[in-house]
């Protein structure tokens, strides 16, 4: 059960007024808000044990190193990776994807094929296009249907002995569709291709089990999981991490450096050059603890109630059309009202205290598919309420009256 009063009291930002109105924060798919324990963890780090890690023999450095490595183990356990060195701490999903895409430059050859889906975030499209430019590999796309689901029969046709890699997100950030990733992974493995799962949008709602999923790579950002910005993970199976070359050179990632030759450290350090976001990583661990204490099953079932309620309510507005109507979706509603530009509605309801995202949501190919410039996206999480959905509804009616 979700104790909504108690939960909301954990988030100082939620009691704010915006433009003189109570804040209704419905942009959780872009980034969600931080509970006080996460904010305190950052303050506590800088006020009591700020120090560089893995280097000093002094007490503070050891304390910081321990806290940083404990966070890695927390993340390992949460995502159920086999080994802690399979969890690389990065600056976020985009950074994680670029580590893999750049690493594969030396592993692909001309004519190899890589597959992405039509439902991807730009950060899971552009790095692969750049990889194709460098290597001469060819990018193929699993198409989507009008409901916003991937067409799996077309995926089957794309797979061949030329396929080396497959990249899909677990949940589409623009539409909320939950993709059948286990099937996608198993089919790719049958023909010997590796799979990267972009979990940025799913892991705030669905706790993944990486060993059961059997993905070769999995990436996510802390800031969509109640953690700070600029932190994330790259999970890779040990065998792949050994094969991939390092992404950046620098301190912390070496075994031995001479001017003739440098040998690299083992994973995870091989991929963690330079001083990392120490406070951010520690706070990421605190955020994971916070969410686990609420419970991902509780979160998912409460969010599903919010989704059902909001869908019914919004569809009462004449001319409102929802994009992404898959049976399997997270609490994201992407919509337009008649031909009104999403930006105009977003601007008016912001004056009423309501924060939604408008635009292409870093997924322009999806907007092109529907032949629209963008959508209004309301994305709900476990601290949102049914009353907030009513406030959204009222604000949309007001905006519609003003603009029609």
Ligand X SMILES: *Cc1c(COP(=O)(O)O)cnc(C)c1O
Of 193, 195, 173, 87, the C-alpha closest to 123 is 173
Binding residues (CB under 6 A) for ligand X: these are 92-94, 121, 123-124, 169, 173, 198, 200-201, 221, 223
- Minimum separation from the CB atom of position 201 to ligand X (A): 4
- Minimum separation from the CB atom of position 394 to ligand X (A): 28
Closer Cβ to ligand X, 81 or 200, answer by number: 200
Instruction: Classify residue 306 as exposed, middle or buried by CB count within 10 Å of its CB (0-12, 13-18, 19+).
Output: buried
- Minimum separation from the CB atom of position 99 to ligand X (A): 12
- Minimum separation from the CB atom of position 188 to ligand X (A): 19
- Minimum separation from the CB atom of position 340 to ligand X (A): 25
Q: At what angle do helices 296-314 and 278-294 cross, to 10 degrees?
A: 80
Residues paired with 169 in a beta bridge: 198
Q: Which structure tokens are listed for 392?
A: 């959204």
d(CA 221, CA 287): 12
Closer Cβ to ligand X, 64 or 331, answer by number: 331
How many C-beta atoms surround the C-beta of residue 292 within 10 A? 14
Distance of CA 63 to the CA centre of its chain: 30
How many C-beta atoms surround the C-beta of residue 334 within 10 A? 31
What does the angle CA 221 – CA 167 – CA 144 come to, to the nearest 5 degrees? 105
- Minimum separation from the CB atom of position 120 to ligand X (A): 7
DSSP 178-224: BP-HHHHHHHHHHTT-EEEEE-TTTTTTS---HHHH--SEEEEEGGG
Q: Which structure tokens are listed for 202?
A: 């799913």
d(CA 263, CA 275): 19
d(CA 278, CA 186): 36
Check 132, 203, 226, 362 and give the catalytic one: 362
Closer Cβ to ligand X, 237 or 357, answer by number: 357
Of 97, 132, 70, the C-alpha closest to 285 is 70
Contact between 362 and 173 under an 8 Å Cβ cutoff? The reply is yes
d(CA 386, CA 55): 50
- Minimum separation from the CB atom of position 200 to ligand X (A): 3
How many C-beta atoms surround the C-beta of residue 359 within 10 A? 17
Tell me the backbone φ, ψ of residue 378, rounded to 5 degrees: -105, 125
- Minimum separation from the CB atom of position 273 to ligand X (A): 18
Closer Cβ to ligand X, 169 or 336, answer by number: 169
Closer Cβ to ligand X, 203 or 278, answer by number: 203
Closer Cβ to ligand X, 163 or 173, answer by number: 173
Closer Cβ to ligand X, 103 or 280, answer by number: 280
d(CA 124, CA 122): 5
Please tell me whether the peptide bond between 268 and the residue prior to it is cis, using omega within 30 degrees of 0.
Answer: yes
Closer Cβ to ligand X, 64 or 234, answer by number: 234
Instruction: Classify residue 258 as exposed, middle or buried by CB count within 10 Å of its CB (0-12, 13-18, 19+).
Output: exposed
Is there a catalytic annotation at residue 362? yes
Mind telling me the catalytic residues? 362
């Amino acid at each position: 059960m979700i104790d909504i009063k108690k939960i909301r009291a954990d988030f100082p930002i939620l009691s704010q007024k915006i433009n003189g109105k109570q804040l209704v924060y419905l942009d959780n798919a872009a980034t969600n808000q931080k509970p006080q324990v996460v904010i305190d963890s950052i303050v506590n780090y800088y006020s009591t044990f700020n120090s560089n890690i893995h280097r000093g023999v002094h007490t503070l450095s050891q304390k910081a190193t321990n806290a940083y490595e404990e966070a890695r183990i927390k993340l390992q356990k949460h995502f159920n990776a086999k080994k802690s060195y399979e969890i690389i701490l990065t600056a976020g999903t985009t950074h994680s994807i670029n580590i893999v895409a750049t690493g594969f430059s030396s592993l692909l050859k001309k004519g190899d094929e890589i597959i992405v889906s039509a439902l991807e975030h730009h950060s899971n499209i552009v790095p692969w296009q750049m990889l194709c430019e460098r290597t001469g590999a060819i990018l193929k796309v699993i198409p989507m249907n009008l409901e916003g689901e991937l067409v799996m029969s077309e995926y089957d046709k794309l797979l061949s002995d030329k396929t080396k890699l497959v990249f899909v997100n677990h949940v589409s950030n623009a539409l909320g569709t939950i993709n059948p990733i286990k099937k996608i992974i198993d089919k790719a493995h049958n023909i010997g291709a590796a799979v990267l799962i972009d979990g940025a949008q799913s892991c705030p709602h669905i706790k993944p089990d990486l060993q059961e999923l059997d993905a070769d790579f999995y990436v996510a950002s802390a800031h969509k999981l109640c953690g700070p910005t600029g932190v994330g993970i790259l999970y890779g199976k040990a065998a792949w991490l050994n094969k991939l070359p390092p992404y950046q050179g620098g301190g912390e990632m070496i075994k031995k450096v001479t001017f003739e030759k440098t040998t690299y450290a083992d994973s995870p350090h091989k991929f963690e050059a330079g001083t990392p976001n120490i406070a951010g990583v520690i706070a990421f661990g605190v955020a994971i603890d916070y969410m686990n204490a609420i419970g991902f099953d509780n979160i998912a079932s409460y969010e599903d109630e919010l989704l059902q309620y909001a869908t019914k309510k919004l569809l009462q507005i004449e001319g409102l059309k929802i994009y992404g109507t898959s049976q399997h979706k997270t609490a994201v509603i992407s919509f337009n009202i008649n031909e009104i530009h999403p930006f105009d509605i977003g601007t008016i309801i912001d004056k009423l205290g309501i924060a939604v995202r408008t635009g292409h949501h870093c997924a322009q190919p999806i907007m092109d598919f529907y032949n629209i410039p963008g959508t209004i996206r309301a994305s709900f999480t476990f601290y949102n309420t049914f009353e907030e959905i009513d406030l959204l509804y009222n604000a949309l009616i007001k905006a519609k009256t003003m603009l029609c």
